[in-house]
Amino acid sequence: MLNLRIPLSLLLVAGLWLVALCSLPARGQCAFSEQALTDGEEISYEISYNWGPFWVHAGIVTFKTRLERKQDTPAWYLVSTGRTYRSYDFLFKVRDTYETWIDATTFQTLEFRRYIFEGGYQLQNRSWFDYPRRIIFSNTKINDEPLVIDTLRMIDCTRDMLSAVYYTRALNLNSFTVREPIPVFVAIDDSVYRINIRFLGKEIVEHPGGSYYPCNKFSATMVEGTIFTKDQEAFVWVSDDLNKVPIYIEAKILVGSVKAYIKEAKGLKQPLLTVHPQK
């Protein structure tokens, strides 16, 4: 059967959290400021899949942020959900949820959860981050297999997949050299992966809705697995304004390719910056 996998994890892996991570380990900085987070922010993306000559609108991914308490500790709660449209479910049904809690004072991850349903494949993962001991405690269950309990060693500024999305908000891109390789480390289930990021310069992105957004373009080397081959790259265009929101993402996969455009944004610090195209 053709691999039609277009999960939330693909959107994360294909650009959002990868580009978001691109500064901190390389610059020796593990913390990020509250500027990266906005209470009540909500951003959604529409994912499209290329199958031969056709593009199919396959699903939607939403990111939400709010300030709450986690075990009597003030914390930022970040949640992202991904689902295929009902019209696509008969081909490959996806219902994914990612959650993370970040200490509101230290901005370090307290707990991360990942619930995956992708075409009958099910995965549940919970991870707890112990920064003083540089350890991640991870519990992972796949389908009907036994629960796997593991302890991971942090490498430099290892982050969970979801909270990494928000680090780019405090990033000063003027400190980067074009095409400079930047290694980052991300905890994914029972492993910590190194991924290389490159800043490729500035471009104007034309949105299907007719708007034009000035953006910073990045590439990221993918983690080899079910949908990516070794050394394959994804590309992401991030708004060149104070929001630093991913506007457009594209990546090739084992069969075809995918792309994602921003669909809606609420609660941003400021309206997204747009420009008029040059004639």
Q: What tens-digit pLDDT sequence spans the chain (279 residues)?
A: 333 344 444 454 444 444 343 333 334 445 555 566 788 999 999 988 887 778 889 899 999 999 999 988 899 999 999 898 999 888 888 899 999 999 888 888 899 999 989 888 899 999 999 989 999 999 999 999 999 999 999 877 777 878 766 655 555 666 667 887 776 777 777 777 777 778 889 999 999 999 999 998 888 776 554 444 555 678 889 898 888 888 998 887 766 788 899 999 999 988 999 998 776
Bridge-based pairing of strands 135-142 and 95-103 is unpaired
E-strand stretches of 52-85 = 54-70, 73-84
Between CA 272 and CA 264 the distance in angstroms is 11
User: Is residue 28 included in any domain, yes or no?
Assistant: yes
Residue 184, beta-bridge partner list: 195
CB atoms within 10 A of CB 54: 9
Question: pTM of this prediction?
Answer: 0.84
C-alpha 54: how far from its chain's center?
Answer: 26
**Boundaries of domain holding 119:** 8-262
Q: List the one residue out of 19, 3, 12, 4 whose CA is nearest residue 196.
A: 19
**Contact status, residue 131 vs residue 163, Cβ threshold 8 Å:** no
Between CA 22 and CA 27 the distance in angstroms is 9
User: Is residue 3 included in any domain, yes or no?
Assistant: no
User: Is residue 274 included in any domain, yes or no?
Assistant: no
| Domains held by the chain: number | 1
User: Is residue 96 included in any domain, yes or no?
Assistant: yes
Token representation of residue 263 = 């669909």
